[in-house]
Amino acid sequence: MIKHFQIGGNDGIQQVPAAESNWLVLDDPSEAERKNLIEKYNLPAEIFVGARAAEEVSHFDALEETSLTNAYVLVLTNLSEKKAEKIEDRLKPIIFILSDSLLITYFGNKSSFLDHLLQKYKDKITTFEGLITYSVFMLYNHYIQELLAIKKDIDALDQAARKTTENKELFKLADTNRKVVYLDHTLAGQKSTLDSLWQKEQFIEKLNNPKVLYDIRLHQKHAEELIKIYRDLLETVGGLFSDMMDNNLNHLMKYLDSAALIISIPALISGIWGMNTGGLPGKGSNTGFFLVVGASIILAIVFGIHLKRKDFSK
């Protein structure tokens, strides 16, 4: 489906009939609708290819040989609020096709981005450039919220690493690492794309809102710093898990060595007693066997008590 809006004027953003619109929103469009749109405005055939992939590369490029005047395409990546999904499924490309007289956007299938954007900033958006800029601002709000949630996961993992090395916590560590890697690469690619956009003087002049630009740059820097800190923290937590596993293994080996020593005492005594060297006390007695067994048990118990009192954690 394609939704039609009018941006500008005293009424801000209004949903209008197709003939009066200057903003087209692709909301889960069919293949036929995309094809018709590409043919109508002579857009590149592959412009919507990869629109559903998390690995879609952010970019800002001029569109040549189209029927639109001064047309550009801007591709960014949004992070959806569906936390139950994998991180690669939550990263959704957003496509803006900007020209002097028309704006075309694709927010992803079944996305609530448009509804949230209009709910928060409808009264502030009066130009195409303003809509794009506030969309970017909302993107970074999503990333920062996700990174703050990841910090809670890292704190929980840090506490767990001091107490346990169960598979459940290790799997959670791997999942958190996966999230941070995806977010890191997404934000890095997006930064260079937005730097190119902010260098376009015509865009900045039409936007005419230095405050929101400052806020976006501040959010960018905040998100990038959080990513760096959290990657280092995850490396520390991963190292703590490894050290704890090594430490637990060392303790286990000490216990096994102790058990081997206790078992070897009766074997040593009975081995010596059974040597045919002569002169051993009790060799001709029927109670000799029981004396050997009793002595072995007593020595094993004494040695076991000694080992039990020993602190193997040092």
* pLDDT for res 1: 84
* CA atoms of 80 and 58, how far apart (whole Å): 16
pLDDT digits (tens, 9 = 90+) for 142-172: 999 999 999 998 888 888 777 766 678 888 8
pLDDT value, residue 57: 76
In this prediction the pTM is 0.77
Report domain 2-246's class.
alpha beta
pLDDT one-digit tens code per residue, 248-293? 676 667 777 777 777 777 777 777 666 655 555 665 666 666 766 7
Domain 2-246 shares a fold with domain 248-309: no
Interatomic CA distance for residues 202 and 197, integer angstroms: 10
What local confidence, expressed as pLDDT, does residue 266 receive? Answer: 74
Pick the CATH number of 248-309 from 3.40.1130, 1.10.10, 1.20.58, 2.60.120: 1.20.58
20 DSSP 8-state letter: G
Helices (H), the chain: 31-41, 87-90, 113-121, 128-161, 167-198, 201-207, 210-273, 288-309
Task: Say if CB 135 and CB 111 are below 8 A apart.
Answer: no
pLDDT lower than 50: segments of the chain: none
Provide the pLDDT for residue 56: 65
For 279-291, give one letter per residue: b (16+ CB within 10 A) or e.
Answer: eeeeeeeeeeeee
| Per-residue pLDDT at 47 | 84
| 3-class DSSP state of 6 | strand
In the chain, what are the domain boundaries? 2-246, 248-309
> Can you give the pLDDT at residue 13?
87
pLDDT at 227: 92
- How far CA 211 is from CA of 78, 127, 130, 158, 217, in Å, comes to 22, 16, 12, 38, 10
